[in-house]
Chain A
Amino acid sequence: MCDGGCLKHPLFLRLRSVLVVLLALLLLGLVTRPLESPAWTVVKARQPEMNLQAIEGALGQGLVVGILGGFRSIMADFLWIRTNTIWERRDRVKLDAMVRLVTTLDPRPEFFWINGARMVAYDVPNWRIQEEGGYTDVPQSRQRAIDLDQAEQAFAMLERAREFHPQQAKLYLETGQIYLNRLKDNAQAAKWFLLASQQPDAPYYAARIYGELLRRQGKDAEAYAFLKQLHTELPDDPYAQKGIILDRIRELEATLKIPLWNRFQPKAGSAVLPAGPSLEQKVRMLEQAHDHAHDH
């Protein structure tokens, strides 16, 4: 059938050349593997934002340009401006893709994560409820399901953000805020506010809100103990709002009916006041004086 002529056919020769080149490149890949493999392990470990898991679901032109190398920051910035246009148009499918794209391209600014999570957790549920007939027509259970669904997406986004910024209090606070303001889940919100308060850059109010959330859950004793401890540990900084904490402590003391002599005495106050009998001693002295008066 083929008496050697087809072996000299131009098509066969071309195919043979292609195969030889491919084979050579394959061998080259194998030869360079001992150099490439360890180097790639080191380089890849330092680029968590560019692994497959991170970029799947965020594919788009912007991402390709970003992966190609460079301009990632400016690309993410311009795409964020575009994300806002999409947000104004209430296109929730595109919005989700764009937020993923932006945060994948440049995961460094926490601005993208926090604002993206807010759009997903607060705005999109409103749009979805409006699409289904509005707050008056959509049953409460359905509204709750939508809120939960969107909040889960926002939590996943913030969870990823914390992989890049593990000690950024704002990201813990944001999760707490969603639990508190959208899902009205005080217990979960308290957990996240406490976590936020334990981060190095935590604002003073994170711990204060945690104490307040304990109170809202009816855990008055726990809230009282926490706020007392907090008041002792906080510096005398106007931003720490120690006065507000002391007010809460006093309210809790009234609620818990703490005896007067067992009530909290601010440390800073004791340093200012002249040394003398403690409040408990003074009350006892007053009571004794009162008893004496009765005896007479």
Chain B
Amino acid sequence: MSGWIDSISRIRLIAGNTFLEAVRQKFFNSLLLISVALVASSTFFQQFDFGTGELKFVTDFGFGALFFFGSILSIAATTQLFFSEIENRTALTMLAKPIYKLEFLAGKFLGAHALMLVFTAVIMLVLAGILYWRETALMARLGEEFLGGRLIDYGDLLVFGLLQWIKFGILSAIALFIASFSNTNLYTVVVAFFVLIICQLQYIARDAYSAMEQGVGQWLVRGLGLIFPNFQLFNVGDQLVFNTANPLPVGTVWQIVGYGIIYTVAFILLAQVNFRKREI
């Protein structure tokens, strides 16, 4: 029992240090600043709009900023935090002590994931604030259109933020997995971005295979659909946030959460398998 507690304590220490190191990075701060500025300026960009409702436009803009900058941050920060330990040889010192490689990886992951939590929370709070302000202004102007109450479900906005954070967790775990066998920072970042694109688009391949004739091609596409997680599953912003007649069932949200957690844990374990054999 005390072994477990010690292990958790070690992971917590590594995660805490990783988080502090990450928060101090200029990269994180500038990316966070750009994202917040972009979300805050969404009402300015609305003048380029050709007919989407104002609230939908602002929401779409905020989700876009969260996905785009969040993906960059989760891949770049995880990779950077992992390789900084290897390149500075601090990993050697750490692993010479009774720290398991899995603890090291879990600590690194949790530190990076805590960073993503801060990033996601800040963006979602800024977005919620802007949406609340615009919705209140619209309600004052077009009261009769809001007879059914507010259009935006702010609680579900945070649920969406949570789902995105879980998705960033899978992405960080994938980056960690690639870093576990890669020799360079750049290689890891590039491959992780390719994996991100595949994960985001794999559903199209799956749609296509259902229309394909039986054969090698169909098996390959089916395999592709199984190997890469489906990130499009997390793209439920409009369904969650806007009060519609047909909202997303709570059970589905839990299924997505479970799916994300399983993949995150699996990629960390796979990273551990690779990292165990690695000579530092």
Residues of B within 8 A of A153 (CB): none
CB nearest neighbor in A for B277? A17
The proximity string for B residues 235-260 relative to A, scoring 1 for CB distances below 8 Å and 0 otherwise, is 11111000000101100100110110
- Interface presence of B56 (CB below 8 A): yes
Contacts A24-B270, A64-B201, A109-B51: A43 and B57 contacting too (C-beta < 8 A)? no
B residues less than 8 Å from A55 (CB atoms):
204
When distances are taken between beta carbons in the complex, the residues of chain A under 8 Å from B208 are: 52
**A interface residues, how many (CB within 8 angstroms):** 47
Task: Kindly state whether residue A40 has any CB partner on chain B within 8 Å.
Answer: yes
Assess the A70–B66 pair: CB atoms within 8 A. Answer: yes
Question: At the interface, yes or no: A278 with Cβ under 8 Å from chain B?
Answer: no
Given the interface pairs A46-B239, A74-B60, the reply to whether A25 lies near B226 with Cβ below 8 Å is: yes
B263 an interface residue at 8 Å Cβ cutoff? yes
CB <8 Å contact, A70 and B65: yes
* Chain B interface, >50% SS class: helix
Q: Are B258 and A35 in contact, with the CB atoms below 8 A?
A: yes
**Contact residues, A5-47 vs B (CB, 8 A):** 17, 21-22, 24-26, 28-33, 35-36, 38-40, 42-44, 46-47
Closest Cβ of chain A: how far from B73's Cβ, in Å? 14
Q: Which residues of B contact A43 (CB under 8 A)?
A: 232-233, 235-236, 239, 248, 252, 256
Residues of A within 8 A of B228 (CB): 25
A23 to B140: give the CA distance in the assembly, Å: 58
CB-CB contacts below 8 Å: A56-93 with B: 64, 67-74, 76-78, 80-81
**Contacts of A72 on B, CB cut-off 8 Å?**
60, 64
A32, A42, A70, A71 pick with most chain B CB within 10 angstroms: A70
User: A212 at the A/B interface (Cβ < 8 Å)?
Assistant: no
Asked if B49 is at the interface of the complex by the 8 Å CB criterion, the answer is yes
Cβ-based interface call for B4 (8 A): no
A135 contacts the other chain (Cβ, under 8 Å)? no
A32 touches B259 (CB 8 A): yes
Query: A28 near B203 (CB under 8 angstroms)?
Result: no
Residues B233 and A46 in contact, CB atoms below 8 Å apart: no
9 contacts between A and B (CB under 8 A): A32-B229, A39-B259, A40-B203, A52-B208, A69-B63, A69-B67, A77-B50, A80-B50, A106-B52
